[in-house]
């Protein structure tokens, strides 16, 4: 396994795990599902973005379905979140942070994988964003909410920023662990600033106004 | 055509037909759609799980799009359900039974097809469950309901049980019609017991409590 | 590039552009999203049908992800619609017309692409309709509405008519620009007549009655 492949794998597994935590906590908070529903929503959130990415890119069957570690981490994240949800007082904050981490990591890895498969610049950016927002969009649709990517100004934008930095680094031939983490950090910081300072678009349901 | 291929085909067509009946009756009851909507929702419910399975597994174009019998059975099921809906007094019961049959059959066939394509144990189980719950999840999302797989404890679990029995039989080299029907029967019985005795997780909408 | 390939491309790009306009205007009207949400919903509406078509047909990565023009037109359509939405008094009418044009064009091109990939008659018709209604269905699901294809009698039916004319012309070996535009025109006219004269099925939400 090349170092680059290991980097991809590690980032992908991290993204999978945090999205599983996020999806499962969302299931507890927003829809008050029981344990099977919680773990199921965690898995769909965790594996959704990667499956969409791999299906679109033609890397079939998706990595998720060839490597048991994705499966194990998604289930473990869901179970851990179910257990933690009884302890966490600030569920909302944890949900937001895990979502931002998953968004950041998946934007970078989706972009680098699309570039490795030889897609052009615009499609690569698009696939990076789709990978990043895919799992969360599936999560929101399944629990009957307007997806975050549509409601929040600073959700697609930070993912796009991370994708742009990633593809820039690849083109400049300086893509590696530092560039990947830097791109993910930029996405994470923009997203969290947006959440912290309420830089969101008006919610269509009018709930948060 | 080998006997095993015929078994797959027959089970797949049965699952397609009952899910078409189920989706169409759901369209009549839950969303009171007219005939085109009824047949369309029946088709999406019937063909959704198999299309997801084949896209993920890389069996492209999906069986549904190569073999006119899936198409014909899905349309026929939708039309039959539309006609029957005026006669059936116990629509709810019919919807539940058809859904349980489709769930059971698709769990078995999704699992055996994933195994035949060389996926590992965990991914095979996952694909079995995804095939089983996929059509119903599409159905629920389209009519604006939280999917059954998230709301009901005993929906993913029986599908997982059938998938586990199926893969066990395959590994022990005793997979055949008996094993397939046995696995499907276990799923069906667990699911119906769950429905009968109300072994469901709390509904997130609080409607059924 | 053969003339037939150019015809496909031109129709596909037109369909992409009008669906982007439609999705973005829908985002403005139905969900009052801000600019990022508007452009995002426009892109998903515009690219959704084609991505589903290409994934099912096995033309991977989808045309959308190989050719930057789809991407550019989808973004341009979204931005244009956002700007226009402040000027247009009759947003509703524009949404309906753009949707009908996208439906018509995608039904024809989805059908001809499926036929070119060697699918049979019934699967070709099905894929034509799926391509036509796919983007709009994704749009409706994302903003939490029952999809038009389920609510309106004359949505799947005109798409099916265009698909049938297209495949008929292909089989009779007289498929070309005239046949393609004719098939699209039939779909457009049926759809607009349905809208004009209220030939819709009862809405499940009872809103429009």
Distance separating alpha carbons of residues A187 and A191, to the nearest angstrom: 6
Highest-scoring range by mean pLDDT, A94-98, B6-10, B83-87, C164-168: C164-168
Tell whether the model's pLDDT for residue C204 goes beyond 50. no
Q: How far is A72 from chain B (nearest CA, A)?
A: 8
* Measured torsion, CA atoms of residues A108, A112, A113, A116, in degrees rounded to the nearest 10: 180
Q: Are the Cβ atoms of A72 and B120 closer than 8 angstroms?
A: no
Q: Are C154 and C191 in contact (CB under 8 A)?
A: yes
CB contacts < 8 Å between A and C, how many?
80
Q: Are the Cβ atoms of A153 and C37 closer than 8 angstroms?
A: yes
Neighbours of C23 (CB within 10 A): 35
Q: How far is A174 from chain B (nearest CA, A)?
A: 33
pLDDT for A209: 31
Helices and strands in chain C, H and E counts? 9, 0
Q: How many residues does chain A have?
A: 209
pLDDT for A200: 54
Q: Residues of C with CB below 8 A from A136's CB?
A: none
pLDDT for A8: 78
Condensed to tens digits (0 to 9), the pLDDT of residues C17-33 reads: 999 999 999 998 887 78
Distance separating alpha carbons of residues B164 and B107, to the nearest angstrom: 10
Tell whether the model's pLDDT for residue A206 goes beyond 50. no
How would you write the pLDDT of chain B (209 residues) with one tens digit per residue? 777 778 778 888 999 999 999 999 999 888 778 888 899 999 999 999 999 999 998 888 898 888 889 989 999 999 999 988 877 767 788 889 999 999 999 999 999 999 998 888 988 999 999 999 999 999 999 998 989 898 887 899 999 999 999 999 999 998 888 899 999 999 999 999 988 887 654 433 333 33
Among C121, C147, C201, select the one facing B34 at the smallest CB separation.
Answer: C201
Residue B181: both structure tokens together: 């029907």
Distance separating alpha carbons of residues C142 and C140, to the nearest angstrom: 5
- Torsions phi, psi for C66 (to 5 deg): -110, -25
| Per-residue confidence band for C120, with pLDDT thresholds at 50, 70 and 90 | confident
Tell whether the model's pLDDT for residue A199 goes beyond 70. no
Tell whether the model's pLDDT for residue A56 goes beyond 50. yes
More confident residue, C42 or B197: C42
Percent of chain C predicted with pLDDT > 70: 93
pLDDT for C176: 85
* Mean pLDDT computed over every residue of chain A: 87
Q: Select the residue from A36, A66, A67, A68 to test the B interface by mutation, using most B Cβ atoms within 10 A.
A: A36
Q: Are the Cβ atoms of A57 and C62 closer than 8 angstroms?
A: no
pLDDT for C89: 63
Which chains neighbour C (Cβ–Cβ under 8 Å, 3 or more pairs)?
Answer: A, B
Q: CB neighbours of C11 closer than 8 A, spacing ≥ 6?
A: C105, C108, C109, C180, C184
pLDDT for C24: 93
Among C126, C147, C201, select the one facing B65 at the smallest CB separation.
Answer: C126
Distances (CA, A) of B160 to A74, A123, B72, B124, C148: 16, 37, 29, 10, 34
Q: Are the Cβ atoms of A142 and B144 closer than 8 angstroms?
A: no
Domains of chain A, by residue range, sit at 3-196
pLDDT for C63: 85
More confident residue, B182 or C205: B182
Percent of chain C predicted with pLDDT > 90: 55
More confident residue, A122 or A187: A187
Distance separating alpha carbons of residues C91 and C79, to the nearest angstrom: 15
Out of C1-15, C124-138, C178-192, pick the least confident. C1-15
pLDDT for C66: 85
Q: Residues of A with CB below 8 A from B123's CB?
A: 61, 64-68, 71
Distance separating alpha carbons of residues C20 and C33, to the nearest angstrom: 15
| Per-residue confidence band for C209, with pLDDT thresholds at 50, 70 and 90 | very low
Q: Residues of A with CB below 8 A from C50's CB?
A: none
Q: Are the Cβ atoms of A40 and B122 closer than 8 angstroms?
A: no
Question: If DSSP codes are grouped into helix, strand and coil, which group holds residue C47?
Answer: helix
ipTM strictly over 0.85? no
pLDDT for C198: 74
pLDDT for B207: 37
Which chains neighbour B (Cβ–Cβ under 8 Å, 3 or more pairs)?
Answer: A, C
| Per-residue confidence band for C208, with pLDDT thresholds at 50, 70 and 90 | very low
Q: How many residues does chain C have?
A: 209
- In chain A the first and final C-alpha atoms are separated, in Å, by 50
Q: CB neighbours of B61 closer than 8 A, spacing ≥ 6?
A: B54, C56, C57, C58, C117, C119, C123
CA angle (B183, B184, B189) in 5-degree steps:
100
pTM comes to 0.86
Distance separating alpha carbons of residues C73 and C18, to the nearest angstrom: 9
Among B30, B71, B141, select the one facing C122 at the smallest CB separation.
Answer: B71
Percent of chain A predicted with pLDDT > 90: 55
Neighbours of B108 (CB within 10 A): 34
Q: How far is B144 from chain A (nearest CA, A)?
A: 7
Which chains neighbour A (Cβ–Cβ under 8 Å, 3 or more pairs)?
Answer: B, C
Q: Are the Cβ atoms of C36 and A153 closer than 8 angstroms?
A: yes
Distance separating alpha carbons of residues C197 and C104, to the nearest angstrom: 19
Among C61, C64, C143, select the one facing A58 at the smallest CB separation.
Answer: C61
pLDDT for C200: 54
pLDDT for B200: 54
The full DSSP string for chain A is: --HHHHHHHHHHHHHHHHHHHHHHHHHHHTS---HHHHHHHHHHHHHHHHHHHHHHHT-SS-HHHH-HHHHHHHHHHHHHHHHHTTT-S-HHHHHHHHHHHHHHHHHHHHHHHHHHTT--HHHHHHHHHHHHHHHHHHHHHHTT---HHHH-HHHHHHHHHHHHHHHHHHHTT--SHHHHHHHHHHHHHHHHHHHHTT--PPPTT-TT-
pLDDT for A86: 77
């Amino acid at each position: 396994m090349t170092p680059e492949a290991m980097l991809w794998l590690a980032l992908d597994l991290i993204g999978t795990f945090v999205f599983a935590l996020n999806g499962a906590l969302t299931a507890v908070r927003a829809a008050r599902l029981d344990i099977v529903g919680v773990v199921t929503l965690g898995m769909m959130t965790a594996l959704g973005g990667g499956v969409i990415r791999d299906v679109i890119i033609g890397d079939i069957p998706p990595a998720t379905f060839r490597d048991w570690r994705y499966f194990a981490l998604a289930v473990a994240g869901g179970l851990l979140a179910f257990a933690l949800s009884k302890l966490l007082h600030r569920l909302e904050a944890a949900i937001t942070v895990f979502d931002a981490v998953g968004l950041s990591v998946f934007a970078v890895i989706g972009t680098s994988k699309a570039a490795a498969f030889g897609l052009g610049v615009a499609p690569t950016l698009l696939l990076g964003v789709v990978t990043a927002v895919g799992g969360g969009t599936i999560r929101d649709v399944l629990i009957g909410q307007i997806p975050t990517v549509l409601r929040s100004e600073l959700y697609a934008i930070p993912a796009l920023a991370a994708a742009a930095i990633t593809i820039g680094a690849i083109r400049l031939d300086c893509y590696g662990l530092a560039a990947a983490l830097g791109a993910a950090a930029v996405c994470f910081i923009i997203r969290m600033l947006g959440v912290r300072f309420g830089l969101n678009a008006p919610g269509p349901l009018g709930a948060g106004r």
